[in-house]
Amino acid sequence: MKGQDIGLLLKLVCLQKREQGLSPVYMPGSWEDWGVDGHDDQVQVEDVPGYYHQYTVRALAQLTGISKSQVNLALQRNFDSGLANRDRKIDVPRANIRALSEFIVYGLRYVFPVKPGTVTRGISTSLAAPVLEGKLSSAGELPPVWSDAKGNTRGQVIEPLFKSVPYAVRLDAELYALLALVDAIRIGQSRERNLAIKLLSEHLEVLQ
């Protein structure tokens, strides 16, 4: 298993929630923690009629920054582990929400442990991200960030689940929120973890 496997599953969650018209994770009006120029991170998903073209390997690669070959491998690993399955009606990949939730809550921090690194510029994550900002006191500590030259926040580096996380979250506010909550579960103390688990569960359970 690789971290990008979990990132891809969370992207599938975002797509399915939009497809079904479900409420996204709440994000404040100004959620971009990076310089925005409106051009360099815009992508054009392949021109195929209907909504389900966003589930193709090519589209998932465009939306996450993970290569097509790695998307294929990640999907296969997720199918093999039971973290994903195929929708029998429309033949698109779906996250197994119950299994994904259990793995994130009970296993993720052991499989993908992380320690804060050097101080640098980046995109805020975990308790410092907009989805959790102000909900708990950070006791004046440096905020955790994903290293990114466009980021607005100076803090301690946290290794993201996959290398292209900064690219992927600039395209999707909900994916940004979900990945930040996952980081809070990976690195947070008990209060932070419990809050992040509660918020993440609220937004995954609607698909069960």
Q: Check if the beta carbon of residue 53 is closer than 8 Å to that of residue 44.
A: no
Q: Check if the beta carbon of residue 148 is closer than 8 Å to that of residue 122.
A: yes
- Give the SS3 label for residue 155: strand
The predicted model gives 23-42 an average pLDDT of 67
Token code pair at residue 92: 């698109």
Q: Which one-letter DSSP state was computed for residue 151?
A: B
pLDDT in tens, 36-94: 654 455 555 554 445 678 889 999 999 999 999 999 999 999 999 999 999 888 889 99
CA-angle at 14, arms to 100 and 8, nearest 5°: 55
Place 20 in a pLDDT band, splitting at 50, 70 and 90: confident
In whole angstroms, give the CA distance from residue 113 to residue 89. 37
pTM attached to this predicted model? 0.90
pLDDT at 65: 94
- Sorted by sequence, the CB contacts under 8 Å of residue 168 that are 6+ apart come out as 7, 11, 63, 64, 65, 175, 179
CA-angle at 176, arms to 173 and 178, nearest 5°: 110
The predicted model gives 12-21 an average pLDDT of 89
pLDDT at 38: 45
pLDDT at 166: 95
In whole angstroms, give the CA distance from residue 89 to residue 52. 12
pLDDT in tens, 97-143: 999 999 999 999 999 998 888 999 999 999 889 898 777 766 567 88
Separation of first and last alpha carbons in the chain: 24
Domain ranges of the chain: 3-207
Q: What is the DSSP string of 25-85?
A: PP--S----B---SSTT-------SSSGGGGSHHHHHHHH---HHHHHHHHHHHHHHTSEE
pLDDT in tens, 146-184: 999 989 999 999 999 999 999 999 999 999 999 999 999
Paired sense of beta strands 144-147 and 153-157, if any: parallel
- Please say if the pLDDT value at position 144 is more than 60: yes
